[in-house]
A and B are shown apart, each in its own frame.
Chain A
Amino acid sequence: MQEKEALMRCNPTRRTFLKGTAATAALAAVGTCSVATWQAERAEAAGAKTQGASLCNGCSSKCGLVATTLDGRLWTVEGMEEHPYSKGTLCGRGHGTAQWAYSDGRLTQPMKRAEDGSFAPISWDDAFAEIGAKVQEILAEAGPEALAIVQDPRPSGKYYSKRFMNALGSANVYTHAAACNLSKESGIQEATGASNYSVDFPNTKMVVFIGRSYGDGIRPSSVKSLAGAADKGARVVIVDPRLNNTGIFATDWVPIKPGTDIALLLGIANVLVTNDLYDHEFIEQFTVGFPEFAAQVAEYTPAWAEGICDVPADTIVELAEALAAAAPACAIEPSWRAAFGCAYQNSFETARAVCAVNALLGCWGQKGGALITSSPKAGDVDPVKFPKVPEPAVKRVGDAEFPLALSGTGTNLAVLNGCNDGTVQGVFFYNSNAVQGYAQPAKWREALAKAKLVVTIDVQMSETALVSDYVLPECTVLERMELPEFIGGKKHYVALRTPVIDRVHPETKPCDEIFVGLAEACGVGQYFPFTIEELADAQLATVGTSLDAVREAGIVELADPGFEFGTPTFKTPTEKFQFTSAKVAEAGLNPVIGYVPRLVEPAAGEFSLIGGKQGIHSHTMTLNLEALNAISREYQLERLWMAASDAAELGIADGDTVELSSSEASGRVAVKVTERLKPGVLFLPTHYGSTSPYLTRAQGFGLNMMDFIPLHLEPAVGSTMSQEVAVTVRKVED
């Protein structure tokens, strides 16, 4: 009988759930125990109010927040003023996810899956011991390369997951990027040597968004920056099949055929080169491969581009000329997931094309242009207190097949493939719902069913948890401390998650404790002889501050990185901006930035399907939260968007139920008929269609886009090609 259950047993003839002798006088007292009396007393006496800092976990931005409690209970959360991502504001998902600590939908104890698929509680000690035994078995039979971890990076998780896996001798550490921004960051890296950049909104005259919508996803500060630019009269162009919610700031909406942004970009490049509108000085001094690129781009005329992307040639010319006139105070915005984070066969190349246009405009590092900034990181810490983990001897699974994937992320789909071919036999997931979101769920389930061990660390019984052998419950963000989070940009900062409320469920743990427990059970505990406080303090000391200081302030600005406008140092092998890349050639692709088509071309009667975020949800994570779920239901946010002209042709009215079908799945959902969508395209928000019966508010609500997507991996990169599908739709008659 488990300890927890023992505590709940009592002598059935004389029960005692509550412990203690019960003060006789208090039991006999009158007029003191009513709720009304208690509330009146509390109203008169101010409750003990405390404030604590943390970083939101509503998405991967980790905006700074300040949580205020009254008598130990969460009263309110607000955006941290000083944090560069929140700047005093938290988005809807930030407010909603703050509820998580008290949600009735949380995991409260470790769970073990039985053969019949049901789950039963297991003690932490037993869970660790059993997992440790299975890991030892896998190590003995197949070596450390048969173990892997997939995680959506968070301050503690990214450190402890890597350390744990490397300590076991495995290099198989992956992020969620293959289903997020892998293609985009890999492409930007190849062209510029940096995996990302930002637009200098305070000074920009013109910005072009390819698919990305600040109004729907991520960071209050981004919205504020864009709003500021719009107020100053900047031209804001949204290139998107859908007029997304950034439209309120836009001057132009350019509806484009999905997956063809690369053609538009190359058409713009053609105009800039052909009409000699590009920045000669930048091109001559700071780039390699321009002659080859210019020769190739000659064929990418606006008329050619129009034939592919459906944007009129005149529009392409006008955009190019306007950008040239605004240059260098202009940029193509880098995007995140949206149109080329992981969506198409050509996503990597689209990212390179984005960079190429910025290069032609000469806006790299310029006021109003595309800025590559630096990020701080912790320095080396005492190797005695914090022992160095030996580098794994064997390369990460997938790196050879996908050499262009960003080294910091890899492609997690190598794990899916590895489970299928037996290369990977044990998989850990942290803060990751891979099964539901990273590729077609049926394919993930099929693959993971072949693994000998699947362990998920999460706060709820996600679809990934549901197919795991062990599910280990983490406590929520407001209940835990994490390692410092370093924030880059024109200024450098460090911030911290601190526990703001007491742990609600005693049998949940923060991930550092979970990983330490796993490490000890797996025989590598010697690499974790420190507490998280000790490590945090040591890391912070290397950047000139301390744990106490950051706890006190919530966020600390670090030494000035000395950002200056001007052409950046491109950290590429050539030390220049690369129109051509040897590494891309070695991967068997065209080394010169050029046209790559999308894989799937919808036939007559078929539609393209695109997805996107809503401002109150993050992927598959948030739908079960009471408040956010209620908003979705109130406003029917799960609906499939359809262009009005398409709807009229198919006899579909707003609110009708339709059946959406692809080669992989069919499902029914209500339709939102709108003028805000290009004909021939359907839009499905990517938060719905949960299949976990434990997520009672989310299960069966709407459709999961990934169910409809065939499994493809982008060549040489390994992204999930999340929108390479053609679908049909028909009205469901009652």
Chain B
Amino acid sequence: MQKRANYVRALGALFALWGADYPAAYEGAQAAAVDGLAAPAPPSAAVRRRLEDEVLTLGALAATLPVESLYKPWASMSGGDGDGPAQFGAARNLLLGDSAQHMRALYDGLELEVPPAYEAMPDHVALLTEVACLYAEAGNGEAVRALLADHLDWLGAYEDALATRLATLGARPLPVAQHHDELTAALAHGRELTGALTRAIHNLSQSLR
């Protein structure tokens, strides 16, 4: 379990911002690969930079963040005393939804702090996979199962979002035309990473049955 969870963690980490250190992150993922699963090869520096700057950064040109809240209804909370549901409860593409609130509660219980850069994204895939790995290292299979089921079940929607971004890229004039090819490759690589992570999560989940 621990090795499979560690591989999931290493793949989740590839969705963080590494800058010039990114090759080491891919090496880590390749070293952690298990059960014949193949970790993605590192892209070129230009593609990785485009992925980080324009896809994995909030507010960026092709921002498509692997943040759970964006792909699920925002809130199921109600006001209590029959006061009804939250105003945007059914909306998607909003940060700090229920999943983020639950993860904050988990971090509090685990005495973990969310770094400032993730303040608005406590349910970022890099953090989710890290927590899954922590539970696995503690031998808590039930917690790992729960986390996978509750918080890592949206990657299909994320890959769809990347695919949509890729498909519509051609129709959207970009400020710099020469970035188009790099951005196309970056989005395609993002889908590749998502596919690898999905397979790794499935592999981990199967092993916990």
B173 touches A691 (CB 8 A): yes
Asked, given contacts A27-B140, A504-B119, A693-B173, whether A102 binds B94 with beta carbons under 8 Å apart, the answer is yes
Across the interface, do B175 and A34 meet the contact criterion of CB distance under 8 Å?
Answer: no
B111 with A4: CB separation less than 8 A: no
Contact B176–A17 (Cβ < 8 Å) = no
A13-B28, A104-B58, A700-B171 known; A73-B95 Cβ under 8 A: no
Q: Which residues, 108 to 123 on B, are CB-close (under 8 Å) to A?
A: 109-120
Could you tell me the distance between the alpha carbons of A67 and B59 in the complex, rounded to whole angstroms? 25
Least CB distance from B159 to A in Å reads 17
A31 and B146 alpha carbons, distance in the complex (Å): 9
> Which one, B11-19, B184-192, B194-202, is touching chain A?
B11-19
Task: Give which listed residue, B84, B116, B146, B173, contacts A34 with CB less than 8 A.
Answer: B146
Which chain A residues numbered 25 to 78 have a C-beta less than 8 Å away from chain B? Answer: 26-36, 38-39, 42, 46-47, 49, 68, 70-71, 73-77
Most buried by B among A34, A106, A466: A34
Contacts of A700 in B (CB 8 A): 171-172
**B53 touching A120, Cβ below 8 Å:** yes
Q: Is the CB of A12 within 8 A of B27?
A: yes
Which A residues touch B114, using CB under 8 A? 18-19
Interface string of A695-733 (1 = CB under 8 A from B): 010011000000000000000000000000000000000
Q: Give the size of the chain B interface in residues (CB under 8 angstroms).
A: 85
The reply to whether A117 and B79 contact each other, CB–CB distance below 8 Å, is no
Known A20-B111, A76-B87, A104-B94; contact A33-B106, beta-carbon cutoff 8 A: yes
B65 / chain A contacts, CB cutoff of 8 Å: 104
Distance (Å) between the CB of B3 and the closest chain A CB? 15
Q: Which residues of B contact A20 (CB under 8 A)?
A: 110-113
CB-defined contacts of A7 to chain B, threshold 8 Å: 115-117
A interface, how many residues as a size bin? 35 or more
B5-39 Cβ-contact flags toward A at 8 Å (1 or 0): 00001100100111101001101100000000000
User: Given A22-B111, A118-B175, A627-B88, does the pair A694, B135 have CB atoms closer than 8 Å?
Assistant: no
Cβ B96 vs Cβ A102 within 8 A = yes
Q: Mark B167-178, 1 if CB is under 8 A from A, else 0.
A: 000011111101
CA distance A107 to B120 in the complex (A): 12
Pair A9/B21 contact, Cβ less than 8 Å: yes
0 or 1 for each of B117-131: is its CB under 8 Å from A? (1 = yes): 111100000110011
Please, which residues of chain B bring their CB within 8 A of the CB of A118? Answer: 61, 175-176, 179
Contact B113 A73 (CB under 8 A): no
Whose C-beta in chain B lies nearest to the C-beta of A116?
B176
Contact in complex: B146, A99 (CB < 8 Å): no
Q: What 0/1 readout, one digit per residue, does chain A (175-207) give for beta carbons within 8 Å of chain B?
A: 000000000000000000000000000000000
Q: How far is the CB of A12 from chain B (nearest CB, A)?
A: 4
Do B77 and A70 touch (CB < 8 A)?
Answer: yes
Neighbouring A residues of B112 by C-beta, 8 Å: 18-20, 22
* Residues 87-128 (chain A) with a chain B CB within 8 angstroms: 95, 98-99, 102-109, 116-121
Cα–Cα distance between A24 and B195 once the two chains are bound (Å): 32
Task: Please tell me if the beta carbons of B21 and A505 are within 8 angstroms of each other in the complex.
Answer: no
Least CB distance, A421 to chain B, in whole angstroms: 27
In the assembled complex, B93 has its CB within 8 A of some CB on chain A: yes
- Interface pair A27/B138, CB less than 8 Å apart: yes
Contacts of B92 in A (CB 8 A): 626
In angstroms, Cα B80 to Cα A71, docked, is 12
Which residues of chain A come closer than 8 Å to B146, judged between CB atoms? 33-35
Contact, CB under 8 Å: B19 / A76: no
A28 near B174 with CB under 8 A, answer no
Report if A21 contacts B (CB, 8 A).
yes
- With beta carbons under 8 angstroms apart, the residue of B59, B147, B150 that contacts A461 is B59
Closest residue of chain A to B151, judged by CB? A35
Contacts of B151 in A (CB 8 A): 35
A selection of 10 A-B contacts at a CB cut-off of 8 Å is: A9-B18, A12-B21, A17-B126, A27-B135, A35-B99, A46-B80, A73-B101, A106-B58, A121-B57, A626-B92
Known: A17-B126, A46-B81. 11 other contacts (CB 8 A): A9-B18, A12-B25, A19-B112, A34-B149, A102-B74, A117-B175, A119-B61, A473-B59, A626-B93, A627-B88, A700-B172
Those 8 A-B pairs whose CB atoms lie nearest each other, nearest first: A27-B138, A117-B175, A12-B24, A102-B94, A35-B150, A20-B112, A19-B113, A34-B146
